[in-house]
Amino acid sequence: MTPADVVFLFLGAVTLGSAVLVVTTRQLVHAALWLVVTFGALAASYLLLTAEFVAWVQVLIYVGAVVVLLLFGIMLTRAPIGRSEGLDSANRPVAIAVAAATAALLVTVVVAGFREAYVELGDPPAGTSGQMGASIFRTWVLPFEVLSLLLLAALIGAIVLSRREIQPPGESSDERPTERPTGPGRG
């Protein structure tokens, strides 16, 4: 076992432990905070695998943006701050069985397939910013541009979904459309 193996096993244990806490904790806010630990440990794993650029993108987007979005969602759905009951549904035993079967199948296949696979890390590094930038903007530039269009579509979709009903001034905003009186000037 090389030192890299030991460090990676430690990071993997942190990742898995905090992931299990995300799906088992009884407090919604704690789930989001354990998610930060999971994503941070994964970013450290990427650094260990010398995928430097992916690691920092992970920190920026997941820890910086996605978790904040999820915390906003928790806040806006008026979730209780303390412990809340009923976060697990009734099919929890089935879920445990399915997850255990998935884990057994995947681990068996992966271990059988890649038991001998070995890589010497860091010589040369696999993903510095320069290498990744050259790769994205030379080889993968078309999917990159298509992805920017997809982000724009998702942005517009999220705005359309979450905006309030636009109404003329003088009407209260929490009236439902079906209850609204049909006045003149509205087709």
CB closer to another protein out of 164 and 187 = 164
Q: Say whether residue 63 binds another protein (CB under 8 A).
A: no
What phi and psi, each to the nearest 5 degrees, are found at residue 170? Answer: 100, -10
User: 45-50 — which CB contacts under 8 Å span 24+ positions?
Assistant: 45/8, 45/11, 45/12, 45/15, 48/4, 48/7, 48/8, 48/11, 48/121, 49/121, 49/126, 50/121, 50/122, 50/125, 50/126, 50/127
d(CA 147, CA 46) in angstroms, rounded, equals: 23
d(CA 98, CA 52) in angstroms, rounded, equals: 34
Site map (CB under 8 A) of another protein, residues 91-110, x = contact: xx-xxx-xxx-xx--xx--x
Contact 82, 157 (CB under 8 A): no
CB closer to another protein out of 13 and 171 = 13
Q: How far is the CB of 157 from another protein (least distance, A)?
A: 6
Q: Say whether residue 69 binds another protein (CB under 8 A).
A: yes
Site for another protein in 3-42 (CB under 8 A): 4-5, 8-9, 12, 15-16, 19-20, 22-23, 28, 31-32, 35, 38-39, 42
Q: Say whether residue 81 binds another protein (CB under 8 A).
A: no
Q: Say whether residue 56 binds another protein (CB under 8 A).
A: no
CB closer to another protein out of 69 and 81 = 69
Q: Say whether residue 167 binds another protein (CB under 8 A).
A: no
Taking alpha carbons only, the member of 84, 10, 2 closest to residue 41 is 10
Site for another protein in 138-157 (CB under 8 A): 139-140, 143-144, 147, 150-151, 154-155, 157
Q: How far is the CB of 182 from another protein (least distance, A)?
A: 22
